[in-house]
Amino acid sequence: MESPPLPAASVSFRNLGKSGLRVSCLGLGTWVTFGSQISDETAEDVLTVAYEHGINLFDTAEVYAAGKAERTLGNILKNKGWRRSSYVIATKIFWGGQAETERGLSRKHIIEGLRGSLERLQLGYVDIVFANRSDPNSPMEEIVRAMTYVINQGLALYWGTSRWGAAEIMEAYSMARQFNLIPPVCEQAEHHLFQREKVETQLPELYHKIGVGSVTWSPLACGLITSKYDGQVPDTCKVTVKGYQWLKDRKVQSEDGKKQQAKVMDLLPIAHQLGCTVAQLAIAWCLRSEGVSSVLLGVSSAEQLMEHLGALQVLSQLTPQTVMEIDGLLSNKPHPKK
């Protein structure tokens, strides 16, 4: 029997890396929410509930639903009339269109891609622009110069990386220092109970050395970390979305996927002990990692968002002993390489 969801607690705020920008420890991602899976009305409900509960970070990308996610988010923000200074918008640039010049991290695409995003969002600037994966075809100096340019032009206030390796982030930082340019402030990385190496061993070192924090995504491993699963793929899980069969193959039907599902069931007693759901436990577990500025939630309804916000109450209950118990069950704690 699953525990009833905890009521939502107040969202706390953290600095984005070692910048001065304060972001909510839980952010709202728009991969599913403002894509093709749910109605615009539901998307507006989700955004309203998020904002009213203190979430100020809304993350999108030019590639989400081929631009529809940005358009939907822009329309809702315009409708709501919230003060622009009260929320933080992040978008990601890499896949903008079919033409060769409409993807990648060339100076041309970074500038034109961001202008396209701003047009769809109906905003004068975004708070953070992320380079959405590294690009071997673009020299690092060109990427850092282009990001510095869009910031100097007022099109973005900060820039970050997404799915970059630690060595690439370090190279961008060194390039910025060498040529007096603006360095990245954070990395967007996948992080959940079964994806730990990068956020727990590589990024804390970058945080201490150069001030690069992390914004993490997929805390529920694309919806599979939930006690509702129990061998059946839930309708709200991303693997059921058209075009994501590869995700189903990798996460559900593979041997690793089946082992992970068994581990999720092993976590049920700990969740019951804390009076929460496995999903809330998993989100709270992500929030405790060093250097994590915000954990992005992907939800398909306001009710689901409210349940996930209950993770904030679980966070204060995650004692070192409970964390050790979780590590013992998972048997996958990464160790820093000397």
**Average of pLDDT values for 69-97?**
97
- Confidence check: pLDDT of 283 > 60: yes
Q: What is the CATH number of domain 13-226+289-300?
A: 3.20.20.100
Tokens at 66, concatenated: 């081929």
The span from the CA of 259 to the CA of 132, in Å, is 30
pLDDT averaged over every residue in the chain: 91
Q: Which residues are catalytic?
A: 64
| CA pair distance 204, 291, nearest whole angstrom | 6
Question: Nearest-CA neighbor of 332 among 237, 283, 273, 264?
Answer: 264
The residues with which 192 forms a beta bridge, in sequence order, are 195
Confidence at 6, pLDDT banded by 50, 70, 90: low
Q: Which residue has the higher pLDDT, 259 or 272?
A: 272
Q: Is the pLDDT of residue 18 over 50?
A: yes
* pLDDT of the residue at 245: 54
Q: Is the pLDDT of residue 184 over 80?
A: yes
CA angle 13, 17, 18 (to 5 degrees): 100
pLDDT, residue 1, reads: 45
CA–CA gap between residue 70 and residue 66 (Å, rounded): 9
Q: What is the pLDDT of residues 248-258, one digit of tens each?
A: 555 556 788 78
CA distance 135 to 113: 15
Q: What is the pLDDT of residues 43-63, one digit of tens each?
A: 999 999 999 999 999 999 999
pLDDT at 9: 64
* pTM for this predicted structure: 0.91
Closest by CA position to 274, among listed 263, 285, 259:
285
Q: Which has the higher per-residue pLDDT, 245 or 18?
A: 18
Q: What is the DSSP letter of 61?
A: -
User: How many other CB atoms sit within 10 Å of the CB of residue 14?
Assistant: 16
φ, ψ for residue 272, nearest 5 deg: -60, -40
pLDDT at site 335 = 86
Compute the distance between CA of residue 272 and CA of residue 270 in angstroms, rounded to an integer.
5
State yes or no: pLDDT of 273 exceeds 60: yes
Residue 264, CA distances (Å) to 180, 181, 188, 190, 247 in order: 47, 45, 24, 18, 18
**SS3 of 46, please?**
helix
Report the percent of the chain where pLDDT is more than 70.
Answer: 88
